[in-house]
Structure 1
Amino acid sequence: MTSTLESYMNRMVNVVTGDGRIIVGLLKGFDQLINLVIEDAHERSYSETEGVLTTPLGLYIIRGENVAIIGEIDEELDKRVDLENVKAAPLAPIWIPQ
């Protein structure tokens, strides 16, 4: 997996964590345990009744054990999405953190 992550370096990524959070930002680093360093990170919180709430996080580290999915974002397409009008159910955790 690390060789695949290398192709995401310095690109905008979307990370879904095991507890259902969605973190978006620029991938600046990772290690063999898939610990991620995300620059200009922000969390996107979805709601069925309101638009997407975006919370800035700055430089952010996500522990590899909490990474469920990581993928590259098409920045041009992402800029065209009106997040204030996107409504969706929040993701449920895939496990309960202890």
Structure 2
Amino acid sequence: MANPLDGTAELLSELDKKLMVLLRDGRTLIGYLRSVDQFANLVLHKSIERIHVGKEYGDIPRGIFIIRGENVVLLGEIDKEKEENLPLTEVSVDEILDAQRREQQSKTDRHKMLSKALKERGLNMLSDLGHDDMY
């Protein structure tokens, strides 16, 4: 017999705790869980969006953030001790956004080169056939 607290009801024990939420689109949010419903929709308070590029990170304040449950990939409590001793370097928002743009451009350039090389060999990549990444 299933435990009546299985599933989203177990999130009630996480109320008022500082959580990290990884979204389907790849964004990482950190904030205090203030509300959850039967669909695992979440309300984060004092939230930030943390962007990682290499060994650097930057935090963008987001305030109150409402998240549809279907967009949550991973959710976990933040260990305060480990958060204070991150093996990463914090940089300004402008610096991390610039690094993120450069990283994305580099990925796009590599994808284009791979696509071109495959086309020269008579092959097409799935994204060239109208299939986009799931994000």
Q: TM-score range by the shorter chain?
A: 0.7 to 0.9
CA deviation after TM superposition for structure 1 residue 20, in Å: 0.5
In structure 2, the residue matched to 1:57 is 62
**Measured at CA, do residues 70 and 23 of structure 1 come closer, stay the same or move farther in structure 2, by a change above 3 Å?**
same
Identical-residue share of aligned pairs (%): 35
- Gaps of at least 5 residues in structure 1 are none
TM-score normalised by structure 2 residue count: 0.59
- In terms of mean alpha carbon deviation, does 5-14 or 74-83 score higher? 74-83
CA deviation after TM superposition for structure 1 residue 45, in Å: 0.6
- Count of aligned pairs: 89
Larger Rg: 2
Aligned runs of 1:11-30 on 2, under 5 Å?
A: 11-30=17-36
> Quick one: distance in 2 between partners of 1:45 and 1:16?
11
- Report the aligned-residue RMSD: 2.2
> Quick one: distance in 1 between partners of 2:87 and 2:39?
35
More strand by share: 1
> Quick one: distance in 1 between partners of 2:29 and 2:134?
17
> Quick one: distance in 2 between partners of 1:26 and 1:83?
22
- Gaps of at least 5 residues in structure 2 are 1-6, 91-99, 104-132
Q: Which has the higher contact order (CA 8 A, sep 6+)?
A: 1
Q: Deviating runs (4+, > 2 A) in structure 1?
A: none
